[in-house]
Structure 1
Amino acid sequence: FKVNFTDPYICIMTTLSQTKEIFRRADAVCFDVDSTVIREEGIDELAKFCGVGDAVTEMTRKAMGGSVTFKTALTERLSIIRCSREQVNKLITDHPPQLTAGIKELVDTLHQRSVKVFLVSGGFRCIVEHVATQLNIPLHHVYANRLKFYFNGEFAGFDETQPTSESNGKGKVISMLKEKHGFKNVVMIGDGATDLEACPPANAFIGFGGNVVRQQVKERSLWYITSFRELLKELEKI
């Protein structure tokens, strides 16, 4: 069996060793953010901050498990939260997102090897940009959802034109990145169903369970890790 590393639209995950080889040869790595790059789910933290945590956490569980469409879950959760611009800014100031152990070293190592790193998130751009800055990831490498507010700062919904607001949205972003940059080997890393379904067009998927284990993702991932140090060790083999 020969692995086709050149076809930009085929995700080949025949064996664990081949998945690892695609990762070692990647020219771009896309990370999910919530419960992957950071320890928490940003929308759940925002809900707690706004006093509606329990209702929203249950919706997040359904969305990550794949039992409802992502856009449906996002719309329903935001209709419960109805956060103001002031609340979002205060959340970021008072409870900044906490990086997962090892992610800074991993991103630094990928950058040193001239691998392009992207954050592709179903979360909110205002939070994800804060994370990108901590990791020295250019803001134009961030793909996430945009909250909308009225002039008085009250909640006005979200930008439904963003690909990350839909199921299969992360795959659409990866297809666009391949077309735009000519990437041959793109790896998607994440904890949820929306990350898993991005392969294809990603050439490989790595499931991450360092913060939360989602059984469906664990069972369907050829390479499932619980620490980013496992990826650092793999890069050391090059």
Structure 2
Amino acid sequence: MIICSLKNNLQLATLKTLSLVSISVMSPQQTVQELFRTADCVCFDVDSTVIQDEGIDELAKFCGKGEEVKKLTAEAMGGSMTFQEALKKRLDIIRPNVSQIKEFLDTFPIHLTPGIPELVKTLQERGVEVYLVSGGFRSLIEPVAVHLGIPTRNVYANRLKFFFNGEYAGFDENEPTSRSGGKGIVIRRLKEQHGYQRLVMIGDGATDAEASPPADAFIGFGGNVVREEVKKRAAWYVTSFQELLSSLSIQTK
């Protein structure tokens, strides 16, 4: 009996050692993939990630300021200026009023990125909490959340301000998403408030990449636009949401 017990203990110790070895040799990409498969919370960027467009670019185009703003958006997403600086410059050019926002929402269709409805549904069915964390505007993002079945309370984005006559009055600079590092602040608060242990951030921009940490992992997304700086910083970079769906279907032992 003693010999049998020693043999069983030795086998158990060997298995534990092999398990530790297998973990230690996981590549950075494999580590992120495993974190995604076991995540209890996933946060998505919206513009050029969940949707195919950059919302602020489309709003600018609608308001007749498209070309001026598009250049600033590219610079901001590439990380060449602070996000708050880029946001202020773009909004100062557009200066959208309440009527324009309403008309834009009524006439501009939501262009969801292929695969995102299925991915969100799959995550929710697995009990994963899904959030939209964006440097865009809440008024433009809430309809996207509703379309995907994501509670609007799970939307973190910027708020536009207007004067009593409906004219543009600026944006709420107290919103963390209005500045560089803001997405990280949102994620830290989510972890503190809800106790998430494996939170993954997915997005196409520099503000998404810099949110990890405190996010436990970052997945770069290039399905709509590839930003080389972001690609370099992502241990796992995908160009289709199908890659994420396929990853979730893998059964780990």
The TM-score with structure 2 as length reference comes to: 0.89
- The alignment partner of 2:48 has SS state of helix
Matched residues in 1 for 2:238 and 2:37: separation?
15
Counterpart among 38, 45, 49 of residue 32 in structure 1: 45
The code of the aligned residue for 1:33 comes to: V
Q: CA deviation at 1:150?
A: 1.1
Displacement of 1:3 in angstroms is: 10
The residue number in structure 1 matching 2:144 is 131
SS in structure 2 opposite 1:67?
coil
Deviation of 1:151 (Å):
1.4
- SS of match in other structure, 1:35: coil
How far off is 1:2 after superposition? 8.0
Which residue identity lines up with residue 130 of structure 2 in the other structure? V
Equivalent residue, structure 2, for 1:148: 161
Give the Cα–Cα distance (whole angstroms) in 1 for the partners of residues 178 and 130 of structure 2: 21
CA contact 1:42–1:97 (8 Å) conserved in 2 = no
- Report the counterpart of residue 10 of structure 1 in structure 2: none
Whether 1:92 aligns to 2:105 is yes
**Alignment counterpart, residue 201 of structure 2, candidates 188, 205, 209:** 188
Tell me the equivalent position of 2:55.
Answer: 42
1:106 aligns with 2:106: no
Question: For residue 216 of structure 2, what is the aligned residue in structure 1?
Answer: 203
CA offsets 1:41-89 (integer angstroms, 9 cap, x no match): 0000000000010110010011000000000000000000001111111
Unaligned residue ranges in structure 2 (runs of 5+): 1-19
Gapped runs of 5+ residues in structure 1? 5-12
Matched, 1:235 2:248: yes
Q: Give the counterpart letter for 1:199 in structure 2.
A: S
Match of 2:135 among 122, 126, 132: 122
**Count of residues in correspondence between the two structures:** 230
User: In structure 2, what residue type is equivalent to 1:114?
Assistant: G
Cα 1:3–1:69 shift into 2, 3 Å: farther
4+ residue runs of structure 1 moved beyond 2 angstroms?
Answer: 1-4
Instruction: Choose 1 or 2 for highest CA Rg.
Output: 2
Structure 1 equivalent of residue 74 of structure 2: 61
Shift of 1:96: 2.5
CA RMSD of aligned residues (A): 1.5
Higher relative contact order (CA 8 A, sep 6+): 1
Q: Supply the AA of the counterpart residue of 2:32.
A: T
Q: Which amino acid aligns with 1:105?
A: E
Whole-angstrom distance in 2 between the partners of 1:169 and 1:3: 36
Q: Identity percentage over the alignment?
A: 60
